[in-house]
Amino acid sequence: MTYAFKHDDRVACWATHTETMQDLGIVADASGQLMAFAVAAIPASVAAAPVRTPATFKATHRHYKGGLYAVIGVALSMYGGELLVIYRGADLRAWARPKDMFEGTLEDGTPRFAPLAA
């Protein structure tokens, strides 16, 4: 996960909601359920950290504009119950997008994110 840390047996990452640009904290409990919660801002120490592509980055989807992304999982927003796909680019920046939008298509029928062959 991007900018992972461990706290109270939960693993978390920071992400930015693609529609609202709201900074989010993502936590996973012991069962693996991901939850998203709004934060005032991603901590400066995290935002200023150098970003590099891990040798293990494996893209799972291609964005219609050409970028490659790996899905981390699906989180349940703690505010309203919206399902969010949490994904990251090769630069390790994590993003959160509503699941229906992530899986949706553009007006011309092009998938917003096309799954890559395994």
So what's the pLDDT on residue 5? 38
**pLDDT tens digit sequence for 47-77:** 555 555 455 778 999 999 999 999 888 888 8
Say yes or no to pLDDT of 107 above 70: yes
**Mean pLDDT along residues 11-20:** 71
So what's the pLDDT on residue 29? 67
How far is the CA of 110 from the CAs of 18, 62, 70, 81, 104, in angstroms?
19, 12, 19, 27, 9
State how far the Cα of 108 lies from the Cα of 118, in Å rounded to an integer.
26
State how far the Cα of 9 lies from the Cα of 33, in Å rounded to an integer.
13
**Mean pLDDT along residues 8-32:** 69
Indicate the pLDDT class of residue 105, thresholds 50, 70 and 90.
Answer: very high
- Which of 39-53, 60-74, 85-99, 102-116 tops mean pLDDT? 102-116
Say yes or no to pLDDT of 45 above 80: no
5-41+55-115 CATH: 2.30.30.320
Sorted by where each begins, the domain ranges of the chain are 5-41+55-115
Q: What is the residue type of 87?
A: Y
